Amino acid sequence: MLVLGGTLCQFEDVIQPYLDITKKIYKDLIRVQKQNTSNDLFVSTLVLEVVAKDSAGQDYFPFDSSNRQNIAFLLIDANSREITTFIHQYGGYCPVN
């Protein structure tokens, strides 16, 4: 997940560096393979979204998962037996009282 701007609503006039790094991140995280029979490509990485809740149903990881910038994913590659975590929490990890 890439976030453009910031908490002060900064803007960016040049988008190409963001597109380039997005492609690199995607290639680093997601595995693609060819099927033996048809040579068609398919994504072999399983992506799971993670939201942990307490007994009252309140999110505690990531905090406030209703915010679209608060995400947690597990990326599972069965062939290499690797699990990658991909996490972003907007602001702090603890609620402000």
Can you give the residue ranges of every domain in the chain? 15-88
pLDDT at 59: 87
- pLDDT at residue 23 is higher than 60: yes
Neighbouring residues of 59: CB distance < 8 A, sequence distance ≥ 6: 51, 52, 53, 65, 66
Nearest to 93 by CA among 50, 64, 73: 64
Which tokens belong to 21? 């790094």
% of the chain at pLDDT higher than 70: 82
Phi, psi of 53 (to 5 degrees): -125, 150
- pLDDT at residue 11 is higher than 80: no
- pLDDT at residue 76 is higher than 90: yes
Q: Which residues are paired to 84 by β-bridges?
A: 75
pLDDT (average), residues 40-60: 91
Angle at 7 between CA 13 and CA 1, to 5 degrees: 70
pLDDT at 5: 62
The number of angstroms, rounded, from the C-alpha of 41 to the middle of its chain's C-alpha atoms is 22
- Residue whose tokens read 């972003």: 88
- pLDDT at residue 24 is higher than 90: yes
Specify the higher pLDDT residue, 32 or 3. 32
pLDDT at 49: 94
pLDDT at 30: 92
26: left (phi over 0), alpha (psi -120 to 50) or beta: alpha
